A and B are shown apart, each in its own frame.
Chain A
């Protein structure tokens, strides 16, 4: 579904991504883990067109995304849930969701209603709060809203940037369960996380990013049990030493 070859990207003089190659197949959860500043967010932003690629290619369902500006990409079915939610605080919950279907302008009112119902079924709390301003929601509810908003465009691939940021562990668990449910319903998810353990626990495959390079990749279970990954990102060895 998504193939990235030799991607280079960055800001000004800083090269944030160096020769990154990866792929995402239909129906799987792929996670990208790595420390702060490893280039995880830059990778997603480059796929979404918010940061321009300097070299390499990003092929999404047969189309090269590098040549497209950011606002054209959601229409192709590749949509991002940005870091820190970025819900539209002064708009109601329902308006936020309807805005998510912005790219479906040719569809009628009924399609939008069906999509709304679907999101409300997935996130019942949003139905209870649909008239409320999005800025008054709790962090977890905002994350759900951001996810629902992305799903309103009927995406083929959902990219999530640090959905666990700033949320209580219980809420993180709930959000991750919803991500698994999305996969089980046939969606494809590209998940960027600092919370490596939680991400690898639900993912099918994973990539480890370090200073802009992919240093490890493989099935999520293998990465969970990988000695280097454990030491660097999971902190398990310390626990074992005790």
Chain B
């Protein structure tokens, strides 16, 4: 309940931003706020993996891309020429296909966004399991290298596969009707609605993770981060918790990919790029690693600035620089600089001085 109350001010800010944007006639800001919210969904998932479980991933843009690209490909691939094949007939029979029109007005038959989204997220989860089982045995920079390798593989696969549009990416992704009257799309008329959908998903995700981190699972994760051996000796199944967290963060990334792709109406290979993964890691670090609120605030702020083009062509350079500066001067996150005085922890007493 306390955590629910902590989220209320955030909801207040979300509403306030929308009202301010509408009153001042600057609703275009809401588009970037919507996109930033989806990126932040990935970032809070990565925050749990990095900050709480202590496992780094330099491949999370890969999971984002799996979600985005699969749902984009499935909802744009015209199945009319394959109508006679059993799989297409089976899908049609299940009511998973929908008729639509392509960019030139031609009649096409595609997979429903819901079905595509579920398949995309499940695929990301499955890939996370397959990658996670061998890779999570590694530690520190070995884990970083292995996940980086995974990210590069996904990026090159996307670039090389004609089904994924190669360097052009996929465009013409249809709107995603979540519920009747609730549609993820880039239409200007649906801007406010999409802003609230994105923030609704993000706040719900944050609430879920905050609860999880305060449960038995969160405690076990922090214990693993503290000392794997001691956690092991306490009966914590380390490999299972690490894998579950990895999959959970991959699912968050994939959901963000699916929704942002439908919002943007397309996806390009840069979304799968290694620099994207570096950026996510940098933002989690700026937020303070084991700090979901910090990750959320920094995720929204930095992505918003980046999407507004504030960093210009130096975009990736800025995030690289941020990562270096944070590691050098504020390894506990930028917010720790503000509250450093308050949080100063007394050093443990030397054992000789003990009286009790």
Contact = CB atoms under 8 A, between A and B. Distances in A.
B141 interface: no
Contacts of A138: 348-349, 351, 353-354, 356
B13 interface: no
A149 B219 CA distance: 13
Interface residues of B, number: 30
Interface string B195-238: 00000000000000000000010011011011101111111111
Given A74-B234, A79-B233, A102 B216 contact: yes
Given A138-B351, A140-B351, A86 B229 contact: yes
B223 to A, nearest CB: 5
Chain A residues touching B, range:
35 or more
A139 B233 contact: no
Given A95-B219, A170-B354, A90 B233 contact: no
A226 to B, nearest CB: 31
B233 A80 contact: yes
B229 A82 contact: yes
A153 interface: yes
Contact of A91 (B226, B233, B353): B226
Given A102-B220, A136-B348, A70 B356 contact: no
Nearest to A141: B356
Contacts of B81: none
A103 B226 CA distance: 18
B219 A135 contact: no
B234 A149 contact: yes
A168 B226 contact: no
B179 interface: no
A50 B235 contact: no
B346 interface: yes
A71 B237 contact: yes
A72 interface: yes
A82 B235 contact: no
A89 B347 CA distance: 12
B239 to A, nearest CB: 9
B352 interface: yes
Given A86-B227, A138-B354, 14 more contacts: A48-B233, A72-B235, A79-B235, A87-B230, A89-B226, A90-B222, A90-B226, A91-B219, A95-B219, A102-B220, A102-B234, A136-B347, A136-B348, A153-B235
Interface of B: 216, 219-220, 222-223, 225-227, 229-238, 290, 345-349, 351-356
15 contacts: A48-B233, A71-B232, A74-B235, A88-B222, A88-B227, A90-B222, A98-B219, A99-B223, A99-B234, A99-B236, A102-B236, A138-B353, A139-B351, A140-B351, A140-B354
Interface of A: 48, 50, 70-75, 79-80, 82, 86-91, 95, 98-100, 102-103, 105, 125, 133, 135-142, 149-150, 153, 166-168, 170-171
